[in-house]
Amino acid sequence: MIKLSNIKKPVNALTDSNKHRNDRNVLPSFHYILKTMKAIDDFEDKYNFIKGFYFLNKDDLPESDRTKVKVMMDLAKCKWNNTRRITMAELDELEQTEVTEDRFIVDTPEKADWALYKLRETNETINQNKKLADKNHERIDEWLERENSKANESKEYFEGLLQEYFTNERTKNPKFKFSSPNGKLSSRKQQPKWIYEESKLVDVLKDTEFVTNVPKLEKGLFKKSAKKGLDGLSVVGNKVVNTNTGEVIDGVQIQEQPDKIVISTED
């Protein structure tokens, strides 16, 4: 087993080589880290080594190598968390990944577990963002209500003064209007407001065209009766049949649905 203190030396050397390429010809690469990883047994060491290598050298790595190292780091973290080992076969498989392969494919239980881990992290981020947004919305709403309560009092006060002024002037001149650079005072006709007592009015007009009785389909009751063969209904294939007449009831068909894939993450 390689100690972490020994593992970090090549990474530092690589970093030095990036800064002083005239002195050394070693460049950070996926091939280097792949060979070193095969000599490390401990999962925590694997993850820490890849992480250190990635963040120290990511700006100097080719894009394809950077993607592969990032995937390897995520897999190492996942396996460390689940106390599993990155197998030599997986490393060999990763080494042979085509440079043109941009899409990560889940094709093993380990990768599926890693994808669920990343999905759980994403869900946690979404929930945290929502809580943060809700908290800020609440704070902003409280501020807005507090500030506007003062402004609304001023608004009502000045509107009252202007309405009183306008009413007084209208008694002197029925055509009075006022205009200034800051606004205008005028009036307009309004339609009469109808105030209904609906329950009383419906009772009075129940036998007229002014009160409608709109039919409503009780879908739940209809479905239950058809599935259980009650009330002269029965399901035959993808149709509902009137068992008394044998006729297919028009207006409904039953469509089979594929199984729904349910993805859930642990809290």
Lowest mean pLDDT among 54-58, 246-250, 254-258: 54-58
Q: Is residue 192 part of a domain?
A: no
Q: Using CB atoms within 10 A of its CB, is residue 176 exposed (0-12), middle (13-18) or buried (19+)?
A: middle
In a domain, 115, yes or no: no
pTM of the model: 0.39
Can you give the residue range of the structural domain that contains 10? 4-104
Name the pLDDT band for 130 (thresholds 50, 70, 90): very high
What's the rounded Cα separation, in Å, for the pair 91 and 39? Answer: 12
Q: Is the predicted pLDDT of residue 259 greater than 90, yes or no? A: no
The residue-averaged pLDDT of 144-170 equals: 91
What rounded mean pLDDT belongs to the chain? 78
Position 248 in a domain? no
Q: How many domains does the chain have?
A: 1
| Assigned domain for 202 exists | no
**Is 82 a domain residue?**
yes
Residue 135 belongs to some domain of the structure: no
Q: What is the pLDDT of residues 1-37, one digit of tens each?
A: 444 344 444 444 443 434 333 434 445 666 776 777 6
176-231: pLDDT as tens digits = 999 999 999 999 988 888 888 888 888 888 888 888 887 888 999 999 999 999 98
CA distance 100 to 176: 79
Task: Judge whether 241 lies within some domain.
Answer: no
Classify residue 267: in a domain, yes or no. no
Residue 163 banded pLDDT, cuts 50, 70, 90: very high
Give the mean model confidence (pLDDT) for residues 58-64. Answer: 75
Q: Report which residue type is found at 83.
A: T
